[in-house]
Amino acid sequence: MMDIGHSALVGFAKSYGLFYLIAFSVAVLVYTYWPSNKKRFDRASKSILDDEDKPCP
Amino acid sequence: MASLLTKNERQLALGISILLALVGLAMAGAGDDRAYAAHGILIMVFGVGTAFLTISGYHAPEPPEGRLAQYYDDPSKVGIVLAMGWAVFGMFIGDWVAWLLAYPEMTFDAAWSSFGRLRPVHTTGVIFGFGGNALIATSFHVMQRTSRARMPDQLSPWFVLLGYNLFCILAVSGYFMGLTQSKEYAEPEWYADIWLVIVWVTYLVLYLRTLARRQEPHIYVANWYYLAFILVVAVLHIVNNLAMPISLTQAKSYSAFAGVQDAMTQWWYGHNAVAFFLTAGFLGMLYYYLPKRAGRPIYSYRMSILGFWGITFFYMWAGSHHLHYTALPQWVQTLGMTFSVMLLVPSWLAAANALLTLNGAWHKVRDDATLRFMMVAALFYGLSTFEGSFMAIRPVNSLSHYTDWTVGHVHAGALGWVALITFGSIYAVVPWLWKRQGMYSAKLVEAHFWLALVGTLIYVFAMWNSGIIQGLMWRTYNESGTLAYSFIDSLIAMHPYYVARAIGGLFFLIGAVIGSYNIWMTVRATREDSREPIADRPVPAVARDRALQSGE
């Protein structure tokens, strides 16, 4: 069995951790600013102001 | 209550109640220590109580089909009343603890009223009792509205709400008897922890089932925050509470972690409890009730999404800033510090988004104390997240750590942000839920607002002063290189600030009592007169103008 020591774990965390978090940030930015998502976001932010206090049938 | 459940739900409710009572009976009978047996009795009484509640409506006819065309709000209503009850209880204990620090004889020579037991009663009472019930109640309200769908069943919301309160009662009564596993904000012992896991998983499943029934294409951002709160709290709670009980008939257990690993697991839990219990859930409240009350959509929906992912992914790494200058490896401390500083970005995105939503509606903030509660909450959110990032920087932490500055910081967040956004949301939702024109008294909402604000400011300023004096006294050396002040010198210097803090806390407590009275009167008014009150409705502007003209 391969021995995973402290330094190996730290090395992995320091390198891989950096890249996956950057990749994740990029993915979130792309999702947020994707032009075709804008309409859906606008609708969502306005729809809560609708005062009809009943579930849709 | 039980008559509104379907026949199947009544059977299930009775079965769960009986099972709970039997487990309690077994614990009471087999328990080796008195506290454990006492908890057995408590669980049994709780199970018998819910069984009686179920039986009281057991043979009532099936609830009308028409209910399915409405949202199910009864659990939210009960949750709000419970939240206010816990608020008054938790804040009363908190203020007692505050006076106790200024006047140590206020334990009245009893073991149960010593500082070490009262303090977790206060923290659990306000965070889990008040905050948790408010989160559960508002999340039920928000998830149904934003999904435009009724909850899938009527039993699981009651199981979540009442089961959660059983956990809170077990926790608080355990501390009074001296039961604790000594993990901050995770003090309850193993059996209470297991019970909370069952309740919490039911909560998560209920939330997901409601979202699955939604009639809106997009899941509104408030739900993201509530879901992050539910999901992450489940993960944190399970991991940090991993422990081996001494035996199944004893309350005590051994943690699965030891040494610095235990400290790191605890503060990973502890700081994320701040992040996901005390921030994410309450941001869910903010993103629904603030735009709703102001009558304006959120300033930038995109900002709210960026803020969400920033908060969820940065907070996860920030916990190690609680362990600066300890045996924890230096790079882990630095990692926690760096992520804490980065957290300022998503935190301020949320605070700015809230304030910019109100930009253009400042006249509403001026006139409406409910909206002002939410506005000031956003200000305190911005303030305390800035302060938190600052205090996480290692050299700053060398001054602030273990001093009252930390206590002041926590209360800037807990009173100024969490409690104010909760009161604002409750004042907004109570008239909607009980179908009233407004609260019983707008003047009392106003009074509550100013008491809460003044109380928070007195508290926070007292603790800033006290904490910095304390920190500086602890690190002042004289010419011979030894400490200039003894510990008792710093205690004497802190005394006036402790008195001031207790007075600030008293203001806040009185505000909560007034709020509870106001909510209770709003609820009762509907009960006595289910028609809409006509007398105290404001005269519409058009009619008023006409009346003026006719007088000319």
Q: What is the ipTM of this complex?
A: 0.90
| Alpha-carbon distances, residue A34 vs A26, A30, A38, A40, A51 (angstroms) | 12, 6, 7, 11, 30
Question: Would you say residue B541 has pLDDT above 90?
Answer: no
Residues B46 and B164 in one domain: no
Domain shared by B78 and B53, yes or no: no
CB contact under 8 A, B220 and A47: yes
pLDDT at B533: 44
Give the pLDDT score at B545. 44
Q: Tell whether the model's pLDDT for residue B550 goes beyond 50.
A: no
Where does the pLDDT of residue B547 fall: very low under 50, low under 70, confident under 90, or very high at 90 and above? very low
Statement to judge: residues B117 and B170 lie in one domain: yes
What's the mean pLDDT in B116-134? Answer: 98
Residue B119's CB is within 10 A of a number of other CB atoms, namely 18
Distance CA B113, CA B87 (A): 19
Q: Does B78 share its domain with B49?
A: no
Pick the residue with more confidence: B350 or A12? B350
- CA B473 – CA B86 distance, rounded (Å): 37
Chain centre distance of CA B549: 52
Please indicate, yes or no, if residue B299 is contained in any of the structural domains: yes
Encoding tokens for residue B99?
Answer: 């006076």
SS3 B535: coil
Is residue B545 domain-resident? no
Burial readout B237-260 (b: 16 or more C-beta within 10 A, e: otherwise): beebbebeeeeebbbbbebebeee
Q: Which residues pair with B245 in a beta bridge?
A: B253
Query: Does one domain contain both B59 and B79?
Result: no
How many whole angstroms separate alpha carbon B425 and alpha carbon B283? 11
**Alpha carbon of B69: minimum distance to chain A alpha carbons (Å):** 6
Residue of A nearest to B216 (CA): A44
> Stretch B403-412: mean pLDDT, rounded?
97
Q: Residue B424 and residue B372: Cα distance in Å, rounded?
A: 8
How far is CA B1 from its chain centroid?
26
Whether residue B80 sits in one domain with residue B48:
no
How near does any CA of chain A get to the CA of B419, in Å?
24
CA of residue B526 relative to chain centroid, distance: 27
State the best of B209, B218, B296, B333 to mutate against chain A, taking most chain A CBs within 10 Å.
B218
Q: Of how many residues is chain B composed?
A: 552
Question: Which amino acid would we find at residue B36?
Answer: Y
Residues B59, B187: one domain?
no
Using 50, 70 and 90 to split pLDDT, how confident is the model at B500?
very high
Mean pLDDT throughout B443-468?
Answer: 97
Q: Across residues B319-327, what is the average pLDDT?
A: 96
For residue A1, name the pLDDT band (cuts at 50, 70, 90): low
- Between A9-18, B20-29, B30-39, B279-288, the lowest mean confidence (pLDDT) is in A9-18
For residue B548, pLDDT beyond 50 = no
A45 → closest Cβ in B301, B331, B432: B301
- Evaluate whether B380 touches B416 at the Cβ level (below 8 Å): yes
How far is Cα B357 from Cα B294, in angstroms, rounded to an integer? 8
B71: nearest CB among A32, A42, A55? A55
More confident residue, B542 or B357: B357
Contact flag A55-B291 (C-beta cutoff 8 Å): no
Burial label, B201 (beta-carbon count in 10 A; 0-12, 13-18, 19+):
middle
Supply the range of the domain harboring residue B42.
Answer: 1-63
**SS in 3 state form for B33-59?**
CHHHHHHHHHHHHHHHHHHHHHHHCCC
Q: Give strand pairing partners of B477.
A: B483
Q: In this structure, are B334 and B389 located in the same domain?
A: yes
Residue B477 has pLDDT above 70, yes or no: yes
What is the C-alpha separation between B1 and B73, in angstroms, rounded? 12
Q: Are residues B166 and B271 in the same domain?
A: yes
- The per-residue pLDDT for A51 is 75
Q: Cβ distance B271 to A1 under 8 Å?
A: no
Number of domains in chain B: 2
Q: Are residues B56 and B78 in the same domain?
A: no
- Structural domain boundaries, residue A29: 17-45
pLDDT computed for residue B526 by the predictor: 66
Report, as an integer, the average pLDDT of B79-95: 98
Using CA atoms, how far residue A8 sits from A2, A3, A16, B468, in Å, is: 11, 9, 12, 41
Query: Looking at the domain assignment, is residue B536 inside a domain?
Result: no
Q: Is residue B188 scored above 80 in pLDDT?
A: yes
Q: Are residues B27 and B171 in the same domain?
A: no
Give residue B551's pLDDT: 39
Q: What is the pLDDT of residue A21?
A: 87
Helix (H) or strand (E) holding B254: strand B253-255
d(CA B416, CA B420): 6
- Residue A41: list chain B partners with CB under 8 A: 218, 301-302, 305
What confidence tens digit (pLDDT) does each residue in B198-225 have?
Answer: 999 999 999 999 999 999 989 999 999 9
Helix (H, G, I), strand (E, B) or coil at B207: helix
Q: Quick one: pLDDT at residue A8?
A: 86
Whole-angstrom CA distances from B235 to B207, B240, B352 are 16, 9, 30
Phi, psi of B122 (to 5 degrees): -65, -50
pLDDT range class, residue B527, cuts 50, 70, 90:
low
pLDDT at B227 over 80: yes
Q: CA–CA separation, B464 vs B470, rounded Å? A: 10
